A and B are shown apart, each in its own frame.
Chain A
Amino acid sequence: MSTQERPEHWVDTEPFDPHEGEKALTPEQEAYYTASQWKLMWWRFKRHRLALVSMWLLAILYGSLLVTEVIAPYNAHTRNASVIHAPPQAPHLFHEGRLVGPFVYGFSYRLNMENLKREYVPDPGKVQKLRFLCRGDPYSFWGAFEADFHLVCPAEGGTFHLLGTDRLGRDMLSRILYGARVSLTVGLVGIAVSFTLGIVLGGISGYYGGWIDNLIQRVIEVIRSFPTIPLWLSLSAAMPVTWDPLWVYFGITMILGLIDWTGLARAVRSKILSLREEEFAQAARLMGARPSRIIGRHLVPSFMSHLIASATLSIPGMILGETALSFLGLGVRPPMTSWGVLLNEAQNVNVVALYPWLMLPVVPVIVVVLAFNFLGDGLRDAADPYSD
C-alpha cells in the first residue's frame, strides 16, 4: 500500500451563507422549481395554443348543454307544416339601406310542379325582426318545469330557421343543439365505462401477471379481432325494440365503453409491469398494503396524466361510433335526438342535391372530434412535463 499525499484542503474564509444558492434564482425560476407536477403540466399545456382553444371550445359546448332549452330558438319537437324542408334563413341588418336591426325575410312558398319540390324564397316584403330575451316556443326545462323563455325568438307570426328545417318542419338549429346533449355525453359516459374497466382489468393483468394476465390478454385479443362497427351493430341490434329511448341511450354508451377498454387496459398493463418493481411500490408492499391499494393509490396515479390524455383521444371514436350507429338506425332512437339521428335523414343522394342543409349536423361532429383530438394531443405533450 502506498500512502498517497493528499492535496491540501482548501478552506474558504468567507462567511458561509446557507441560502446563497437560492438567492441566485429569479422569481420565475423559483416558481418553476417549486411548482407542483400538475402546475407544470398546465404551463406545458398552455404552450399548445390549438389545444387551449379546443379546451375552451369544448368547455363552452358542454356548458351550453345545461341551458339548451334557452339557447335553442325552438323546441326540438315542434313541427311546422308550413315550412317543410325550408332552406336556411340568413339574418340581415339593413333593409333597403335602412338599419332595422337583426331580422330575417319571411318565406314566400311555391310548389314546383315539375319536380314537386317545395320552394321557399325569401320575400323582401316580409321583414321579420328577431326578438331577444323573449317568450316563444314552450318547452319543459330538463323535464322539470314548463317555460317559454328563449335567448332569441322569431317575430310574432314569423319564422326564424337559421339552419333550415327538416321533413316535418322542425328547426334544424334547435335540433342540433338538443342533439348535442346526447352526442356529447355519449363519449363521456362511454369513456367512464371504458376507463374503469381498463384500469381495473389492465391493473390486475399487469400486477399479478401469470395465468390471470394471460387470460385477460387473450380476452383483449379476441375483442380486438372483431371489426368494431359490425360488433357495435350486432350488440345494438340485440337491444329490444320495446326499450325506452333512455335505456337505449345507456345501452349504446355501455356498448361503446365495453368495446373500447382494451386499448386502455393494454396501456395500463405495460405501465404497471414496469412500475411494480420500483422502490415505492415495493415499500408499499412491504408495509402491508393490499394489491388494490398499491394499484389504485401508488401505481395508477403515477401515470394518470397519460391515461387522461389517451382517454381524451378515444372520445372522438365514441362520438363517431354513436353517429354511425344512429345513422344506420341502430343507435339512439327518436324521439331522442342526436347528431347521428339527424344525419339519418341525410341518407340518400337526394338530400345532397335538394336539401343540403340536412347534412349540417356533420359540422358540429367534425368540430367536436377535431377539438378532442387537439386537446388530447396537447394533454399528451403536457403529460410528461419533465421531458426536455
Chain B
Amino acid sequence: MLRYVIHRLLVMIPTLLAISVITFIIIQLPPGDFLSAQLAEMRAQGEQIQGGKIDYLRQLYGLDRPVWEQYLYWLWGLLHGDLGWSFEYDRPVTEVIGDRFFLTFVLAFTTVLVTWAIAFPIGIYSATHKYTWSDHGLTFLGFLGLATPNFLLALVLQYYANVYLGLSIGGLVDAEFIDQPMSWAKFLSVLQHLWIPVLIIGTAGTAGMIRRLRANLLDELRKPYVVTAKAKGLPPGRALVKYPLRMALNPFIADIGNLLPELISGAALVSVVLSLPTNGPVLVRALQTQDMYLAGSMLMLEAILVVVGVLVSDLLLAWLDPRIRFGGGQAR
C-alpha cells in the first residue's frame, strides 16, 4: 500500500508541473497585458499618462521580462505559497481568493455529499425496479436534470425561493451578516442559502451518477453468485446489499475524480448567476480584465483541487479493492 501511495504521489509531480505550464500559457494568450488594458481604458476616459510611469509599472510587476522568466518567478512564488499580485484589486492574490476558495471547497464538498445522498437510493431503486413506471420516470427526471442548463435553473429556483420562502436573492448569507464574524445565526443563514446552489450544481452530476449506479448494479445482479445467494435463501435485502452493491460501489468512488471538475465548473457558472462569493465570478472578471496572476492562480488552484480529488479517490479505491492495490496503479 505504501509503495502504491508513493508511486501515486510521484506521478502527480510532472502532472502538476504540466498543469502550471498550461495555465501560464493560457493566461498569457490574450494580446497585451493588464497594464495595456488599463491604459486603453484610461485613455478612453481622457486621462493623460506619462510614458515613464508605464515603464516603471511594467518593471515593477516584471511584465518587461521574457515570458519564461515570468513563469519561473510565478512558479517559485507558487511553491512558497505566494500566488502573486492582483492588479485589479491591488492586493495579494492570496487575500483576494482566500475566503472564496474556502467557500468553493465547502460548496463542492457539500455537493458531492448531496449528490451521493440523492443518487444512491434512487440508483438502487431504479436497478431493482427495472423497467417499471417509476424507473422510467426517474430515468427521465435524471435526463431532464442533465439537459437543463444549470444557470437557468439557478435563476428560476432563486426567484421562487424568494417569492415562496422569503429567502434573500443572491449571496451566501443574508445581507446583515456580511462582514460579521462567524456565529450560529450566520451559520444558519449560510445553510439556508447553501441548499439552492448545492441542489442546482448537483443536478447534472446526480443524474449521471444515478445512471451509472443503475447500470453497474444491473450488471452485478445478473451474475450467477446473486442467483446462488437467492437460491440459498438469503433475504432479498441482504442479497442486494452484501455483495452486488459493494461491487457496484467502486465506480462511485472512482467518480470523485470525474465529479470534481464537473462540480467546480458548475459552481463557477451558478455562482455568477447567484452572485455567490466563490471563485466563479472573480475568475470571469479576472479573465476579462487580464488580471493574469489572479486568473492564473485560480485556474491552477482549481486544477490542483481536482488532482488531489483524483488522488483521494484512487487511494480510497486501492484501499477498498486489493486488485487495484496490487495491479500497479491502474486505477481508472
Which A residues contact B (CB, under 8 angstroms)? 218-219, 221-222, 224-231, 233-235, 237-238, 240, 316, 320, 323-324, 327-328, 330, 343, 346-349, 351-353, 359, 362, 365-366, 369-370, 373-374
Contacts and interface: CB of A to CB of B under 8 A. Distances in A.
A328 B283 CA distance: 12
Contacts of A316: 146-147
Contact of B148 (A226, A352, A366): A366
Given A359-B156, A366-B147, A373-B146, A226 B299 contact: yes
Residue from A226, A230, A353 having most chain B Cβ neighbours under 10 A = A230
A209 B143 CA distance: 37
A384 to B, nearest CB: 15
A276 to B, nearest CB: 19
B287 A237 contact: yes
B15 A234 contact: no
B149 A320 contact: yes
A324 B155 contact: no
B269 interface: yes
- Interface of A: prevailing SS: helix
Contacts of A235: 26, 29
A227 B302 CA distance: 7
Contact of A225 (B19, B29, B288): B19
B196 to A, nearest CB: 12
5 contacts: A225-B303, A229-B266, A237-B30, A323-B149, A369-B146
A233 B283 contact: yes
Contacts of A226: 19, 22, 261, 299, 302-303, 306
B159 interface: yes
Contacts of A343: 149, 151-152
Closest 3 CB pairs of A and B: A238-B29, A229-B265, A237-B287
B266 A234 contact: no
Interface of B: 14-15, 18-19, 22, 26-27, 29-31, 143-144, 146-152, 155-156, 158-159, 162, 169, 260-262, 264-266, 268-269, 272-273, 279, 283-284, 287-288, 295, 298-299, 302-303, 306-307, 310
A221 B147 contact: no
B149 A234 contact: no
Contacts of A369: 146-147
Contacts of B155: 346-349, 351-352, 359
B287 A362 contact: no
Nearest to A222: B18
Contacts of B264: 227, 229-230
Contacts of A374: 143
B169 to A, nearest CB: 6
A369 B283 CA distance: 27
Nearest to B32: A240
B34 to A, nearest CB: 13
Contacts of A237: 30, 287-288
A366 B152 CA distance: 11
A361 B82 CA distance: 44
A339 B260 CA distance: 27
A34 to B, nearest CB: 31
B29 to A, nearest CB: 4
A352 B143 contact: no
